[in-house]
Structure 1
Amino acid sequence: MALFNFEGKNIYYSELGSGVPLVLLHGNTASSKMFSGIAERYAEVFRVISIDFLGHGRSDRLDRLPPDLWFYEAQQTIAFLREAQLGRVNLIGSSGGALVAINVALEAPDLVNRVIADSFEGEEPLRSFIQNIVEERELSKRDPGARSFYLSMHGSDWEQVVDNDTRAIVEHEKEIGLFFHKDLGSLKPEILMTGSKKDEFVCAISPDYFEQSYGKMMSKIGHGDIFLFESGGHPAMLSNQEDFYRLSVDFFERKSPQ
């Protein structure tokens, strides 16, 4: 069992394959287990590293997750990358993990080659999601499918993990409101933003939600690409796994613009 110490707590991570490092960053209420299938596929090409953020999966638990959750998880990732001395890595963050990946690229561009940010809200929380999250999370805890997912991600204390995540999301919207500490115009690594036009979290709000939110971010960043799948749910990287795999490998192996 591979562990990395961060602020006195143990973070679990796993490695597969060899070659250029590819780090996979999981979303809220999930763990690195969400990548179990696609990680094996990536390991045919890359050295794949999957991390369980503190309070999730096989990592140590926290009594409370901080409101600035995605920045805190980025700090964990940066500390791991510096200690592991991996050089410049490729990152894929999905859902909440996409926010982490962008924060890593903003805060430590010397550690990052390219970034894929998949299936995320944009620069700030989705108000309609926050307004209903407490009720929806309580309903999910009684849903057999959701309960099975949470149990598979975290084990027997999954309910504590979910409740901590819900509390952090609500507190973040009240106290902070933005996902990134630095101006998006300072982002240096090449970035690809992906999503599904049928994503259940955003399609009810607007059929072109990703076009609008990603487009706004890209205008600030000044470089990068957007790719939206016509079908599939949340997250796109798993609901469109084979197409996403081909797209991502092409992106990571593409020569950087001169």
Structure 2
Amino acid sequence: MSYFNYQGKNVFYEEMGNGSPLFLLHGNTASSNMFYEIAGKYAEHHRVILIDFLGHGRSDRLAQFPVDLWFDEAMQVIGLIKAGGYGPVDIIGSSGGALAAVNAALEAPELVRRVIADSFEGETTLKAFTQNVVEDREASKRDENARMFYYYMHGDDWEQVVDNDTEAIRRHDETIGKFFHKPLETLKPDILMTGSKKDEFICALEPGFFERVYGDMIRKIGHGEIHLFETGGHPAMLSNPEAFLERSRRFLES
């Protein structure tokens, strides 16, 4: 197992495969374990780098998560790219990992070649989600499938990880609300935004969400692509694995 130091804490990462470097960034309440199956397929053509953000998976735990969580996670990614001498890299971020991926591209465009941002909220918090996040997370902890997922991602202390994440989302929504520090107009790397039209967390709250939000973001950026899957749930990357793999490879090889 490999670790690198970020602000005095040990951040877990691992590599597999050969080729151009590709980072896979996990979402909220998850860890790099979410990529267990698909990572090996990317490793056929890429040097895949998996990371457990601080407080998750096999990385050091935190008493509480940073309020600006997805920016801090982007800084961890940038730190690992520099420490490992990987850059420039491609990045696929899913759900909350997509927010970290876009932040990394905005903050260090010289280190990022291409970004695939999958199944994320856009530039600002989705109020329909955040206003119920505490109740929804408490309900998820009573759901057997969710409990199994959390345990597989983090181990015995999964409940504390989930609670830390929930509190960070709540505090971010109340005090910051925006995910990115720099304007989207400054984004230089190529970007592909993906999602599922049947996303149970986002499109169930607002049908047509991705078309509207992703479209606005692409117009601000001035370049980029959008691909929405007709089927599958959240995230699109894992609920449409074969189709996502094929579409992402075309983008990464373009």
TM-score of the two chains, using structure 2 as the length reference: 0.99
1:62 and 2:62 equivalent? yes
Question: How far, CA to CA, are the matches of 1:41 and 1:14 in structure 2?
Answer: 15
Equivalences for 1:227-242 in 2 at 5 Å?
227-242=227-242
Question: How far, CA to CA, are the matches of 1:133 and 1:176 in structure 2?
Answer: 16
Which stretch shifts more, 79-88 or 222-231?
79-88
1:6 and 2:6 equivalent? yes
Question: How far, CA to CA, are the matches of 2:167 and 2:199 in structure 1?
Answer: 24
Which stretch shifts more, 31-40 or 80-89?
80-89
Partner of 2:168: 168
Deviant stretches of 4+, over 3 Å: none
Question: How far, CA to CA, are the matches of 1:193 and 1:182 in structure 2?
Answer: 18
Q: 1:203: Cα distance to partner?
A: 2.0
Q: Which runs of 5+ in 1 are unaligned?
A: none
Question: How far, CA to CA, are the matches of 1:44 and 1:246 in structure 2?
Answer: 13
Q: 1:202: Cα distance to partner?
A: 1.7
Question: How far, CA to CA, are the matches of 2:180 and 2:142 in structure 1?
Answer: 33
Question: How far, CA to CA, are the matches of 2:190 and 2:87 in structure 1?
Answer: 16
Question: How far, CA to CA, are the matches of 2:13 and 2:187 in structure 1?
Answer: 26
Contact 2:198–2:204 (8 Å) recurs in 1 = no
Q: 1:138: Cα distance to partner?
A: 0.4
Partner of 1:147: 147
Task: State the number of aligned residues.
Answer: 254
Partner of 1:219: 219
Question: How far, CA to CA, are the matches of 2:94 and 2:14 in structure 1?
Answer: 17
Question: How far, CA to CA, are the matches of 2:145 and 2:86 in structure 1?
Answer: 37
Contact 2:23–2:91 (8 Å) recurs in 1 = yes
Question: How far, CA to CA, are the matches of 1:182 and 1:203 in structure 2?
Answer: 26
Partner of 1:33: 33
Contact 2:38–2:241 (8 Å) recurs in 1 = yes
Partner of 1:128: 128
Q: 1:134: Cα distance to partner?
A: 0.3
Question: How far, CA to CA, are the matches of 1:87 and 1:105 in structure 2?
Answer: 12
1:31-90 deviation digits (Å, cap 9, x = unpaired): 000001000000001000000000000000000101100000001110110111112100
Question: How far, CA to CA, are the matches of 1:195 and 1:158 in structure 2?
Answer: 27
Q: 1:22: Cα distance to partner?
A: 0.3
Which stretch shifts more, 197-206 or 127-136?
197-206
Q: Match of 2:180, SS?
A: coil
Question: How far, CA to CA, are the matches of 2:14 and 2:137 in structure 1?
Answer: 29
Q: 1:204: Cα distance to partner?
A: 2.2
Q: State the superposition RMSD in angstroms.
A: 0.5
Question: How far, CA to CA, are the matches of 2:204 and 2:105 in structure 1?
Answer: 30
Amino acid at match of 1:228: L
Question: How far, CA to CA, are the matches of 2:28 and 2:202 in structure 1?
Answer: 16
Question: How far, CA to CA, are the matches of 1:232 and 1:204 in structure 2?
Answer: 13
Partner of 1:181: 181
Contact 2:21–2:47 (8 Å) recurs in 1 = yes
Q: 1:128: Cα distance to partner?
A: 0.8
Partner of 1:77: 77
Contact 2:199–2:236 (8 Å) recurs in 1 = yes
Q: 1:207: Cα distance to partner?
A: 1.9
Q: 1:124: Cα distance to partner?
A: 0.4
